[in-house]
Amino acid sequence: MKIKRIILATVASASLLLAGCSSSSSSEAAATDAPAAKIKIGFSQVTLQSPFYVELQKGAQAAAEANGAELIFVDANGDVNKQNNDIQDLITQGIQVLILNPANPEAVAPSLAAAKAAGIPVITVDRPVTSGAVAHIGRDNKAMGQLVGEALGKALGAAGGKVIELQGDAGGSVMADRRDGFAAGIASNPKVKIVLGPYAEYIRAKAVTAMQDLLQANPDVKAVYAHNDDMALGALQVLKEAKRTDVLVAGVDGLGEALKAIADGTQYVATAFNDPKYLGDVTIQVALAILAGKTVPAFVDAGTQLAEKSNAAGAVGDALFAEYRPTLNFG
């Protein structure tokens, strides 16, 4: 059984608003005998190497289609130079708003300046930029890290022990927030010692390679925390192959496979919900609200919750990531 889906009040209000705009446009079209132009939205994604970002794109695409908007998607493949070139191409294609998931928050500054010069509002999703965006849509990654840290610290008990941390991307704001939030949460257990592992770029295969070396160097490890569930599952694979079922595992994102592992066993203890399709949906809703002249918050928080043994089974479904859709108000 999936978590109960809650309909966004703002989606309804945004839809009404957009319907009003469409009515106005339709009247003008009837008067001029020309069809209303379709809203054109550009989306520059950092990479499609992560399943999270694949699902984020799907959520945005579905929401754009549902609202009659055209979404032009480009993949930077982790290369900020390619991302800057992609954005220039999007601008020349006449987009009306730019959605950006930056490869590097500082290095995309030329693209932000170009969009501003063209009068194109920019909103960021998942990863923010230092400045230049009208709004950022994401989740509180520090809160997610802290929730998981508190849960893992509790699971380790009075004995505590060594915790290996598999990190995301070097210099990334999501990585830093999930690291700092986790440190704050697990500090409730004074017997825990954190060993920072390498940057595995949120990719399972890289986490597997890293964990093989880390396990040899740290045979006394008691738990592994990864900045996303994909890496945590890679670590879990290595631990199971080494018959180290005594080592606890925790991640972030609410990947369906991780939820199933939590529900079925005792080794994978916690993650935090981070439904990427919903994040993509909300991002499109914010973009449409901005184009309709609405004022939106600088940060639109899509919400999260701890996933552990008590609620994991109820969240397991057919989706790649567990659905988590709280009621939001913006626009």
Tokens of residue 31, six digits: 């008067």
Summarised one tens digit per residue, pLDDT across range 152-162 is 999 999 999 99
11-39 confidence digits (pLDDT tens): 333 333 333 333 333 333 333 444 457 89
Matching fold, domains 9-139+275-296 and 141-272: yes
Provide the b/e sequence for 276-285 (b: ≥16 CB within 10 Å).
bbbbbbbbbb
Provide the 3-class DSSP secondary structure of residue 194. Answer: strand
- Distance (Å, rounded) from C-alpha 318 to C-alpha 150? 28
pTM value > 0.85: no
**Residue 226 near residue 232 (C-beta atoms within 8 A):** yes
- Burial label for 274, CB within 10 Å (0-12, 13-18, 19+), is buried
Q: Measured between alpha carbons, how far is 86 from 80 in angstroms, rounded to an integer?
A: 10
DSSP conformational letter for 201: T
Dihedral angle sign, alpha carbons of residues 93, 99, 100, 106: positive
pLDDT in tens, 165-212: 999 999 888 999 999 999 999 999 999 999 999 999 999 999 999 999
Residue boundaries of the structural domains of the chain: 9-139+275-296, 141-272
Q: Which H, E and C letters describe 212-268, residue by residue?
A: HHHHHHCCCEEEEEECCHHHHHHHHHHHHHCCCCCCEEECCECEHHHHHHHHHCCCE
Domain spanning 9-139+275-296: CATH 3.90.230.10: no
Overall fold of domain 141-272:
Rossmann fold (3.40.50)
